Amino acid sequence: MSARERLSRFGKFLSGMVMPNIGAFIAWGFLTALFIETGWLPNAQLATIASPMLTYLIPVLIAAQGGYLVGGDRGRIAGAIAVVGCIAGAPGTTMLIGAMLMGPFAGWVIKTFDRLVEGKTPAGFEMLVDNFSVGIMGMLLAMLGFVVIGPVMDAILAVLMAGVATLMHYGLMPLLAIFIEPAKVLFLNNAINHGIFTPIGIAQAQETGRSIMYMLEADPGPGLGVLLAYCLFCKDKKTRQSAPGAVIIHFLGGIHEIYFPYVLMNPKVIIAPIVGNMCAIAWFSLTGSGLISAASPGSIIAFLSMTPPECMLPTIVGVLIATGVSFAIASPIVRTAGSKDLDRAADKMREMKGTAEAAAVSDTRNGKIVFACDAGMGSSAMGAARFRNRVKAERPDLAIEHSSVDGVPADADIVVCQRVLSERARKSAPKARIVTIDNFLDDPALDSLYASLTELPRASELMEPAHPKPAGEQAAQGKPSIAIDRDSIRLGCPSVDRERCIRDSGALLVSRGCVQEPYVDAMVERDRLTSVYIGMGIAIPHGTNEAKGLVVRTGVVLQQYPEGVDFDGERAQLVFGIAGKGEEHLEVLANICRILEDEAILEKMKTTDDVDWVLSVLS
């Protein structure tokens, strides 16, 4: 794993502790903005709520979340107990950094203890051991926090504060933009924002009522300037037409990731947000501007909501400066640049982000990984089968399954799904890590997931010797119960459009007596929801979850398109139409997965005219 991926993984982990608790930051920020002496509605009594929230509530929430990410529910309790020792050991210091350290550490301690005593607790004493162990360890960690961690974190924060003070004193704060803007495009912003800027910002806001640190990464002006340049001067019509929508999402929605592809397609454009942010930071430093709390997400609405009354005008001017400078620099670059493909840049961005997501996975022994698609029948089954074959030698302890995205098992540790299904997956499995992909066979995020699961220091401990299966079982597994016959195969099909290809596949299933006629429309609808193209030149059309009642019997058909069928820029040459009752079709999919392991066979299958050879390979 590269240094960038490691740093991105670290940043994502920090974000995983902070982001679920952003509501607490917002509540504290509004209480401060409204009711302190210099606030919008000064109220001395209500203002007293803000200090305990900052001193106790927010660190405890963050530590509890960090403990949960590493050690589950017991880690959550241990983390919350432990961080109280840090808070007491450094009175007057907001223990945000301590919470980010102590929470995961407490989760790791309790998780390690659980591994050591697994299977050794006498029957009937489980609850007693569970409660006393987390209580005693939490107490010991709280003592450690009081004596060591709290004072050390206090000293670290003091050093960071001194560094910021030095930068401000010598007018060097704008130079931070040289690191901030490229880090954002490379998805490293979480590491610097949540790991450094927010803790320093809270400490500064306690002393002065506001902090410029909250403004460094969240300012929407630099990205807005880039997008406006594309709106007006981009030569590529498709890119120019997409930019206005990106402006709204970025500026009002606060989703800065929307402008990253526009930078990646013309890397020289990065100069524009760097200089724009430098000018804005210089202006904010000169005018003494700052926000009361973190602006998350980084929209203009959140940015101004966290701005104290006396800083409102300078803040607006600063955002306009960043926008104007960024626009002025980006415009000639965009105007003179050749027409480049925004989709490719977006793919590059998704690849980078997907890799970062896949790297941040748990090393839980006997964990469960679930591949999920809309119906849980075709693409997810193929993806799960192929990944299972890939990882089983190094991690035989892992259970790799497939399901519909709305039926993910509650005990799933990691869910792999297509990007457009990620929100449904999160609702279905709120405790699982979500790895988003664009296809189930050769996505870069799957490579990162494989690497993160097999490169763990403990991975070698989880390897088990292979035990040969009984001969009868091997023979049973070698012959699928549902096979493709000669009449289910069409070779040398002329290239057609995507929908025609899927309807032809459905018509073949109808002619074979596998499905009723309306199932064909459900196959087309399934592709509209999420593409049935799964990678490596293969598509697997099948119906939606709601159409399973239209399946008469399990069947698999194959159409070969030597010239390929276009699926959003990818060419599908092998199209397997599927109708499945229960799990009967999975053995045929397993055979297809075995074919994928041999590149020569796969390539021959895409062009051969020998039906007998195809039958021999699939059966």
* Catalytic residue numbers, as ranges: 373, 542
Rounded distance between C-alpha atoms, residue 316 and residue 155, angstroms: 35
Q: Are 83 and 67 in contact (CB under 8 A)?
A: no
Phi, psi of 403, deg, nearest 5? -165, 170
Burial class (CB in 10 A: 0-12, 13-18, 19+), 375: buried
Measuring CA to CA, which residue among 555, 504, 498, 486 is closest to residue 528? 498
Q: Is 202 helix (H, G, I), strand (E, B) or coil?
A: helix
Helix (H, G, I), strand (E, B) or coil at 430: coil
Tokens 């006498």: give the residue. Answer: 122
**Cα first-last separation, the chain:** 39
Name the 3-class secondary structure at 587.
helix
Long-range contacts of 614-617 (CB under 8 A, 24+ apart): 614/489, 614/491, 614/558, 615/484, 615/485, 615/486, 615/489, 617/591
Residues facing residue 490 across a β-bridge = 559
Residue 194 per-residue DSSP state: I
Angle at which helices 271-287 and 177-185 cross, to 10°: 130
Contacts of 179 (CB under 8 A, 6+ apart): 192
d(CA 61, CA 68): 10
CA distance 258 to 230: 13
Contacts 24+ apart (CB under 8 A), 488-492: 488/512, 488/555, 488/556, 488/557, 488/558, 489/557, 489/558, 489/560, 489/611, 489/614, 489/615, 490/557, 490/558, 490/559, 490/560, 491/560, 491/608, 491/609, 491/611, 491/614, 492/560, 492/562, 492/609
What are residue 565's DSSP bridge partners? 572
Q: For residue 543, give the 3-state DSSP assignment.
A: coil
Backbone angles phi, psi at 212, to 5 degrees: -70, -20
**Pairing between β-strand 414-418 and β-strand 433-437 as defined by DSSP bridges:** parallel
Identify which of 428, 435, 442, 434 has the alpha carbon closest to the alpha carbon of residue 387: 442
Contacts of 402 by beta carbon, 8 Å cutoff, 6+ apart: 370, 371, 372, 373, 376, 380, 381, 383, 384, 385
Which amino acid is it at 280?
Answer: A
| Burial (CB count within 10 angstroms: exposed 0-12, middle 13-18, buried 19+), residue 505 | buried
Amino acid at 303: F
- CA–CA gap between residue 399 and residue 591 (Å, rounded): 20
